[in-house]
Amino acid sequence: MRVLIFAVILDLIAGYAHGYANPGACSGACNVHDPSLIRRSSDGKYFRFSTGNKISYASSSSIAGPWTVIGSMLPSGSSIDLVGKDDLWAPDAQLVNGEYHVYYSVSSFGSQSSAIGLATSKTMEANSWTDKGRVGVASDSSKNYNAIDANLFNDNGAYYLNFGSFWNDIFQVTMNSAATKSTSASSNIAFQPSGTHAEEGPYMFKSGNYYYLFYSSGVCCGYDTSRPASGEEYKIKVCRSTSPTGGFVDKNGVACTNGGGTVVLESHDSVYGPGGQGVFDDPNLGPVLYYHYVDTTIGYADGQKRFGWNKLDFSSGWPVAK
């Protein structure tokens, strides 16, 4: 009997060790969808951009808050003349040559008539944004991708724009030295050949000698009206490569272009459907994975999604959420 009890205790400890830590603290305005996080270089203030309200954004003195809503990044909407020009999605905030860039998507839900746009600001203060319009990445029914969910990656001054959602999933183009226009045809860097090809929202981050391609996999939305089968809801996966342009594989060596992908964070405890992620190198915390999620103790509606974050440990060569 003692041996049996000891074995059960070991199993419980092992289960806990392989579990996920709960999200870090968040206070103030914590309801977000598709967050993007950046820290202003001049004073260390944090800014968080998100889907809705023509790109809603907020500021805080720390990643944990208290977050204070500033308002709409582009209150007049986008200059890109597509259905959805007043319904801007999936912002990606980056510092480029001393100027703040936010890449955004113009589309309507489930549509392939989409384009990626850019707004810039020197300060990120309210009413300081200039809409630059299209960056040269767009899609329609003739394409094998959907031009949404952009993420700019800077590799020592060489800029790459990763993007994509469903269809043939995740693609990449090169950008000019100002990171304002694409300069190449698109190449496919991640693809799930089975099912509905439910991969989207890429985010690239370099740690050590590896480039890590994070992305969201599964059903993102509408959990309050139609819950997906268990395990088919949003989760965050990753592949890595020694090059930013391809050759991404998961922990088991399976190519990311052939369904590969190692889970970084998935539903656990009261956290459901984490995704819409990015990675931020915090000066105090180190690498941080941030995302939105449903808190099942609050509600499943898209408007109830919360801002979550966890520290990332790359010491094993693969990111582990702490």
Helices (H), the chain: 2-17
Integer CA distances (angstroms), 228 to 221, 301, 303, in order: 9, 13, 18
The sign of the CA dihedral 217, 309, 47, 154 is negative
Element (H, E) at 8: helix 2-17
How many Å from the N-terminal Cα to the C-terminal Cα in the chain? 35
Question: Which phi and psi angles does 198 have, rounded to 5°?
Answer: -85, 70
Q: In which region does residue 270 sit, left (phi positive, over 0), alpha (psi from -120 to 50) or beta (all else)?
A: alpha
Show which residues are catalytic.
Answer: 34, 200
DSSP assignment, residue 120? E
Return d(Cα 279, Cα 123) in angstroms, integer. Answer: 22
Contact between 242 and 212 under an 8 Å Cβ cutoff? The reply is no
